[in-house]
Every structure is written in structure tokens, then in C-alpha cells.
Chain A
Amino acid sequence: MSAAVIHAPFGTPPSGQTPSRPDPALLDGLRNRIRAIERTGGGIVSPTFDSDLDSHLAGNMPVISLGAPEIDEALPWNGLPRTGLHEVFGDAAALGFSAALLARLAEIHIDEGRGAPILWCQQGRDLYGRGLADYGIDPDRVILVHGKNDTEILWAMEEGLRSPGLAAVIGKLHKVPPIAGRRLQLAAEENGVAGLLLRATGYAGPQAPTGAALTRWRATSAPSITPASGLGLGPPQWNLELQRCRLSAASPKQLESAGRPRLWRVEWCHETGDLSVVAGLRDRSDRAPANPTAWIPKSGQSGPNIQNQGDLWQAAV
């Protein structure tokens, strides 16, 4: 049955003829497209040919500011799109970064007079309401869904993304099958809701990123700066890496933003909820491995993998 679908673009082969010889003109067209991708793609930024995405880029996608102009400008939308799927990897800092994003997404809805709830889907019962309140998320607006496995969480997220009236949907997941990721992205885009994929850490085995998300981030903890008083902990600092933006190859913005740093040391301000860039760091894209999954911690290394990140970090600096 699926074979019929695959054959369709090549034209229906005459009966009796095997479908091993597709239309050469079509193949040429595909080759040209791949060449175009290879020419423009900078290793990190992989363009896609999505007509719906193109239209989004052509029009003005509603965005939120992350509080740091450097990061906003590095994004082709001049901010983080409020509709669509975003993926966050990393250690404990990824949770903090996601919470900071959520707070800003939810805040917009308050400004528009909508106290819309946030759907938070995860397996564990370790989300702490008092901590959420510290991050500027009103815990009263959180609907917490406890799934038994990733499938249930993906289903709940999709239901949430398809439902009107939510400010944002976040799901903490181990594995995201490519099709599921694509479905989530479509649901988020069609319904105009933001979805966050928080990729859980401390889990053995490689976690392949989903190709469907609009942006992919990696947030890892970084040593904070001791306050002037010399006592206690300063505001948290994270190494924030924008690993991927999905955008059209035709977009001039992408070319414009190439060569800007995609790796920042940011500090999160508790009072304003803003991120501020502590130090702009050199673009790492020239060093990006050819294999796009090479940054994934090797299986067998469990735990938050801070050491590994530290090494990467050293290499980057």
C-alpha cells in the first residue's frame, strides 16, 4: 500500500514494467535541489523546502523577544516564533531555559488579556510549583499531564497543540520519532500555538533530534559570577547554543545571519525574566562536524554529561 504512495511522484509505471527506472527529468530536478541545499547549508542551518514555512517567513511570524538583542537578531525571525515547535536539549539548564521561554510565551498571552493555561506533559512527578513561581510562571495556569511513556506524552502534546485556548505546550521526552515530531510541528503551526520539546537528560542512549522543530537549542549550565557581596550564588548562567533554525533556502535572512555567533554565555535575570548575553562567543559553525549528530553524547555516558560539555566548551573558546 505504501509502495503505491512512493511510486506516485515518478508516475505510474505501465503495467508489467518494474518501477526501477524513474523519470530521468525528475531525478535531475531532485539532484539540483540537493546541490542547492549543499551550497547554501552552513552545516548547522539546514534549509528546507516547505511551502508552508516559506509563507510563514514571507509574512510576519509573531515572535517573542528573549530579552537579549544579540539572540533575537541571530534568529531569522528577529525573535522566537510564537507558533511552532522548539526543541531544547541540555542538562538541568535546559529546564531553566525552557521555563524562561514558557514564562515569556505565557506573558504575551496575559498582555493580550488571555490568562491561557500552559500544558506541561512529562513522566515524572518532580515538577515543583514553588520553583515555577520563581521562574515567573504562574503555577495556577499549568495543567500538568503525567504520561506513562513517551507515546502518551506525544499524544497529549498533540492534543494540546491542536486545541485552542492554550498559551503553550511543553513536553519532556526521551525519544521523538520523526513522524511524531513532524505532526507536532504541523499542529503547532496550524493552530498558532508554541510547543516546546524538552529533551530529557540523564537517559542512556542517543536522543536523535527531531528535524521538524523550528529551532533547536542546547542549554548547559555554566559557572555563575559571584555577586559583588562575595557571598552566595549569582544569577544562573548558561551556555546557550542555537544549533539549528529551520528556514527556507530562499530566505535572504539566512545568508545575512550566517557568520553570527550561535553560541552565547547568557545570564538569566530573575527579576525581569530576560536573558542577557554575558559574552558573545565565536561562531562554531566552521567547526561543526559533518555528521550532524556527532555532538550527541555517546551512549554509555549517562548522567548530565557536564564533563563532556565542558570539553566542547573548551574547544569552542
Chain B
Amino acid sequence: MVTIITVHGGQRIASLNRAARQAGISAGQSLADARALYPALAVQQADPIADAKALNALARAAERYTPWVAIDPDGGLYRGGAGLWLDISGCAHLFGGEDALLDDLLTRCAHAGYQARAGLAGTPGAAWALARLETKETLAAILPPGIRASKRLSPLPLAGLRLEAGIVEGLERMGLRRIGEIYNLPRAPLVKRFGMEITRRLDQALGTQEESLSPRRPVPAYMTRRAFAEPIGRAEDIDAALVHLLDPLCDMLEKAGQGVRRLVFSLYRVDDTVARIVIGVSRPNRDPAHLHRLFREKLTEVDPGFGIEVAVLTAPLTNPLALKQPDISGQQSAKTKPVNELVDVLAGRLGPAAVNRLLPVASHLPERACRTAPVDSAPDKKQDWQKPVRQPPRPLQLLIQPLPIDVMAPVPDGPPVLFRWRRRQHKVSKAEGPERISPEWWHGDGRAPYTPPLSPDIRDYYRVEDDDGARFWVYREGLYRPDRLPAWYLHGFFA
């Protein structure tokens, strides 16, 4: 079976299964050629998006072996099969050695319905070549530490060097087919003819040149992992596992003088899917009890599926945290700690955007003079709530969008005597003002966008009281112009 993709107006093989490969078909061939080789070929249209998604899911599942997983950029989904890199340095012993790890990996892939091959070597390049081009029947090819990569790679085709198809073709025209055949060729002419690529890839495969790859997600500095002999599924068990992982993690953090800002609890289910729970805290923290409490809110939402085999707790984001926790105002931590924890709990359930503090902003415009910000943000040093001398009072409730109101004002630039709001007439018995607020011209148009009905026009604010005693903050927009009626808005409520 093959999948096809339309390239340059022709239908070409994008990927193929083992049976197709054995029939002599290769990726990149045109469909017509492949049909000629094997007329009964089953053909499917390739779905790149779904393929990429599946590869991502596979990469996620592979994180059970190592936190360092990368999607192979050179494999190219349609250049001989997609691939994953796993850096298993220091991880193999957890699974009973490299053989056992590869075995486990391939078994799982097979169960999930993938036909996978694995290569294991000291360099990414060699592993790549082994996984893709090793001709032996076994699915796992391991290059043991004792054997030199050059010896093992030399019988493999040149395509194993992750070279562009053009370069491989050019080399083949010169009669070079195996990797070993270019080991001893003079390098200068090779580079001159095919570019630096060929020697770079060769050196990378043999380990004489470093190759750096970026993992799919940054490797967390702090992680704890626990595998279960029997898959677990009960909420109590998951909770217990979390406690067992949290304590050592917090110990590690304490030794390193760090506190977490974000924690990820990953649960690997038996069917190779992963459930992740993420919590964030407003300030660096390493108190297991508090972190546990934050998780508890979300643990109930976890679906254990058919059971959870492995639980991993990682701290992707940490900040330095001194041994004695100081706080913003320099007071004793015992006082603000519960408040910080409360903020974490609230933000954990209601979302980080729901818990805020108020910050002053240097602006004459009422709607800009105060903003909300996350609780841990410090106020701008120059700003405080001190209001300018003789500034009239401000309302407790300020409408985000001023409401247009119908106003009767006998004097063009005087306060209203009557206005209508919410289908009710308010007869103004007392008024105070105007307080003229000019637009902030120094910000320019780009800096200060006005959302309608706010406009960059001067405003004359009045505090008015209706005959029931209700107090409003209303303004008239713009200067008086005889040719049009002034626009009045209600902007806030006094108590």
C-alpha cells in the first residue's frame, strides 16, 4: 500500500509500507512507475495534516522514554518516512538496557499499528542511517559502543547520509553507491562538485563533527518519574502517585534554590496516549502541600482511560527562590504566603486572567488612569494613587464604554438639567463641574487608540445628582458648536 501526493503536476509516492518496499517501490517514484512494478497496488491520497498530527502524537508518547524527543527534520514526512529522534542518554537503564528499550518501543509502535524501525548509535547521523537503510531483517539496529561507526555504515547506501536526492544521484553517476566508498575519496574535489553538505553529513554520521538538534519541547531541568507495575486508574492512586513525585521534586528544587512557576503532570496511558495537567503559580514555590492542592482541583478531570502506566512530573519553568521566602513589601513571608497561595488557587480554577490587581497609570483620561494587571506585577515606580491636588472625586464604578444619553441643557456649555438613561428621566437637582479633560495629544494617534464611543476630543465632565440623590458622572464631548447638538455620555456612578 502506498499514499500519493501530487508534486509538480504528477502523482508521486509519498510513503509506503513494507510490502510495497519489498515489491521494489520507493518513495518519490511516480505512481505510474509503481503500478508498472506492482499492478495490484493499493493507493491512498496522503493527508499531510493528519500525518503530522499522528507524528506529533507519537512524539508525545515517546516522551515516556526520554524527555528529549525531536521530530526528524531531515526525514521529511514524504522522503522515505517520518522519523523521531530520541536522546536516550542515561535513560536506557530504566528500561533494562538499550535492547530492551528498543524492543519496548517497537512493540508499542506495532501495537499502535505503526511499522517502525529503530536505529541506535552514538551519533544522530549514524542512528538515522541504521534505522532507515539497514538491510537486515531485524527491526532494531544497534551500533554497540565497541564498533566503529565507519565500519557499520560503510555497506549502507549513500542515501543514509541524509543528502539531497540530487547529490545522491550525482554520486551514483560517478559509480559511488555505498557510504564506505566515499570515506577515502579526496575531499576537495567532492566539496567542489557537491558542496559542503556531503562532508558535513559524513562527519556528522561518523561523529567527527558535532551535530545539534533541538528537542520538540525544552527539556525540563527538574523532573521525577514513576512507572507502575500495574496500570493505575483510581483517582486515589493517581493522587498518591502525585504526592510521591512532588516530594522528591521539591527536594531537588530546594537543593538547587529554585521554585516552580509551572508544573506539568503527565500521565502515560496504556494505549500510548498522554494526559497532561498543567498548573501555574504566581510566585516561585516549592511547597509540596500547596502544589498538591493546586493539582487537586484538576485531578478530577483526568480520564485514566484503560489505566496509567507511567507518571512524570516536570517543572518546565522555574525561578530562583531563596531559602527563606521574602516578599514584595519586605514583610514577613508568613503573612503574604497564604495570600499568594489563595491567588494560585483562584487563578488555577478561574483562569489566570480572572485574578488581578489594580495599577495606577499616569493619564488624565479616566479610562486609562487605572488598569488591571496580574497580581504579581509590580507597579511602575513613578506611579501611585496620589491624585493631583484639587482633582475632583472619581466614581467607584466606571463604565468601560460610556453610554450615550439624551440631555437637556439650557446653556450650551453648562451642566444638564434633565437627562434620560435606561428609559428613565433623571431630573438634575445639583451639578458640579465642568472638569475639562483634554486628549493626550502627546501620545500621537498610534499610541492611544480610542474605542468608540471614546474619541480624541476634549470632554467636560460634570458630577450630577438627580432629585432622588443618585449621582452620575456625565460628560459632554467636544467644544460647543452652534451647528450641531452636543453629544453627552454617562461614564460612571458615584455612590
Contacts and interface: CB of A to CB of B under 8 A. Distances in A.
Contacts of B217: none
A95 B395 CA distance: 11
A146 B342 contact: no
B399 interface: yes
Contact of A165 (B338, B379, B398): B338
A163 B428 CA distance: 45
A93 B467 contact: no
Given A223-B469, A306-B468, A92 B358 contact: no
B463 A233 contact: yes
Contacts of A125: 372, 400
Contact of A144 (B369, B372, B429): B372
Given A144-B357, A166-B339, A270-B393, A237 B469 contact: yes
Contacts of A114: 335
Interface string B188-229: 000000000000000000000000000000000000000000
A129 B463 contact: no
Among B335, B396, B430, max chain A CB count under 10 A is at B396
B109 interface: no
B495 A143 contact: no
Interface residues of B, number: 57
A243 to B, nearest CB: 19
Interface stretch (B236-244, B344-352, B444-452): B344-352
Interface in B477-495: 492-495
A262 B343 CA distance: 38
Interface string B364-406: 0010011010010001000001010000011111111000000
Nearest to B350: A152
B398 A128 contact: yes
Among B337, B370, B393, B468, max chain A CB count under 10 A is at B468
Interface string A152-174: 10011001100111100000000
A91 B394 contact: no
Contacts of A221: 468-471, 495
A138 to B, nearest CB: 7
A55 interface: no
Interface stretch (A7-15, A22-30, A40-48, A224-232): A224-232
A220 B337 CA distance: 39
B483 to A, nearest CB: 31
Interface SS of chain B: helix, strand, loop or mixed? mixed
Interface string A90-112: 01111111010000000000000
Contacts of A116: 335, 339
Contact of B342 (A152, A163, A268, A303): A163
A126 B400 contact: yes
A132 B465 CA distance: 20
Contacts of B394: 128, 130-131, 133-134
B17 interface: no
B1 interface: no
Contact of A127 (B353, B354, B387, B396): B396
A163 B469 contact: no
A146 B357 CA distance: 11
A19 B343 CA distance: 48
A307 interface: yes
A205 interface: no
Given A92-B470, A114-B335, A144-B358, A128 B385 contact: no
B341 interface: yes
Given A125-B400, A232-B430, A139 B385 contact: yes
B431 to A, nearest CB: 8
A117 interface: yes
Contacts of A302: 422
Contact of A139 (B341, B370, B422): B370
A140 interface: yes
A140 B358 contact: yes
Contacts of B357: 140, 142-144
| 5 nearest A-B residue pairs (beta carbon) | A96-B495, A221-B469, A129-B370, A129-B358, A128-B398
Given A156-B346, A223-B467, 11 more contacts: A114-B335, A129-B385, A130-B366, A132-B396, A135-B396, A144-B355, A221-B468, A232-B432, A233-B431, A238-B469, A303-B423
Interface of A: 91-97, 99, 114-117, 119, 125-135, 138-140, 142-148, 152, 155-156, 159-160, 163-166, 220-224, 226, 231-234, 236-238, 268, 270, 302-304, 306-307, 309-310
16 contacts: A99-B495, A130-B369, A132-B396, A134-B394, A143-B343, A156-B346, A156-B350, A165-B342, A166-B339, A166-B342, A221-B471, A224-B469, A232-B432, A236-B495, A303-B422, A306-B469
Interface of B: 329, 331, 335-339, 341-343, 345-346, 349-350, 353-360, 366, 369-370, 372, 375, 379, 385, 387, 393-400, 422-424, 429-432, 463, 465-471, 492-495
